[in-house]
Amino acid sequence: MTIPDYTLRYSQKAKYLQLRISARGLEVIVPAKRRASPTMIEQFVQQKKPWILRHWQRWLQTQEQREILPLQLPDRVTLPAIEQTWEVLYFSTATEKLKCVINQSRQIKFLGNLSLKAQCVKFLRQWLKKIAEQYLGEQLRLLAKQYGFSFGQVRIKHTITRWGSCSNKRNINLCCYLLFLPAPLVKHVLLHELCHTKVMTHGVRFWQLLGKLDEECDKHRKELKDAGQYVPKWAV
């Protein structure tokens, strides 16, 4: 299988070459301040070929499912990571607009034009990100304090290729879809990224460090490969 065509996107924030797969297709993120030559970019893409092919195939399968299956809105959202279940209610009213109301009884209410399903999903994704910012950020800080790590900023994103990442400035990115995973897997991911604040590469030192903090590291690594099954279709 050949590598799909890709486009270049220059970023002021990026510090090194990165890959991204989204609705835009395959992109190579190039640091605007340290622009790489075409040769360097091509070498980088070839080195990442296994990763590209693996995630590109997953992305294509996701797109095919979206086209085949009608958009199904949830009547409840279960978040195993924080042991919460939210009820989702829909009320059709004589208006062209759509309103989302969230209350403390763990209810999400949509009122208005319910044919705007894409808008419902947008509201749900925004809500999910806010919950993740609160919970995942807090858990990351608690684990860092418990095990003696320090990190820069933490950002929560909607991603389909990574559960988390850590930059060379020790800034940590986490995927909001972690909330759909069992708590032990979430802890494994958070510890994984914290370990990267001390060891950036996935070498022997890294896995030894993570193994000391997570006694079931090998089991969790294996389970994480299939963890995408926990994420509902509407969320991605």
pLDDT tens by residue, 168-201: 889 999 999 999 999 999 999 999 999 999 998 8
Share the mean pLDDT of the chain.
88
Q: Evaluate if residue 163 carries a pLDDT over 60.
A: yes
154-157 vs 25-31, strand pairing mode:
unpaired
* Residue 33's pLDDT band (cuts 50, 70, 90): confident
Q: Evaluate if residue 69 carries a pLDDT over 50.
A: no
Between 81 and 229, residue with greater pLDDT: 81
Between 187 and 96, residue with greater pLDDT: 187
C-alpha to C-alpha distance for 140 and 166, rounded to whole angstroms: 13
Strands (E), 23-73: 25-31
Cβ atoms of 132 and 179 within 8 Å: the answer is yes
Q: How many CB atoms lie within 10 A of CB 59?
A: 19
* Residue 55's pLDDT band (cuts 50, 70, 90): confident
- pLDDT tens-digit map of 135-155: 999 999 999 999 999 999 999
State the burial class of residue 191 (Cβ atoms within 10 Å of its Cβ: 0-12, 13-18, 19+): buried
Mean pLDDT of 111-131: 91
Percent of the chain with pLDDT over 90: 52
pLDDT at 83: 94
C-alpha to C-alpha distance for 66 and 233, rounded to whole angstroms: 8
Give me the amino acid identity at 67: E
Q: What are phi and psi of 94, to 5 degrees?
A: -80, 70
C-alpha to C-alpha distance for 127 and 125, rounded to whole angstroms: 5
C-alpha to C-alpha distance for 195 and 14, rounded to whole angstroms: 21
* Residue 63's pLDDT band (cuts 50, 70, 90): low
DSSP one-letter code for 214: -
Between 54 and 70, residue with greater pLDDT: 54
Between 130 and 68, residue with greater pLDDT: 130
CA nearest to 102, candidates 122, 123, 118, 81: 123
Between 4 and 69, residue with greater pLDDT: 4
Least confident of 7-16, 151-160, 197-206: 7-16
The CA-atom distances, in angstroms, between 67 and each of 63, 64, 97, 221, 233 are 6, 5, 26, 31, 12
Mean pLDDT of 161-170: 86
- The domains found in the chain, sorted by start residue, are 6-68 (no CATH), 76-235 (3.30.2010.10)
CB burial string 111-150: b at 16+ within 10 A, e below: bbbeeeeebbbebbeebbbebbeebbbebbeebbeeeebe
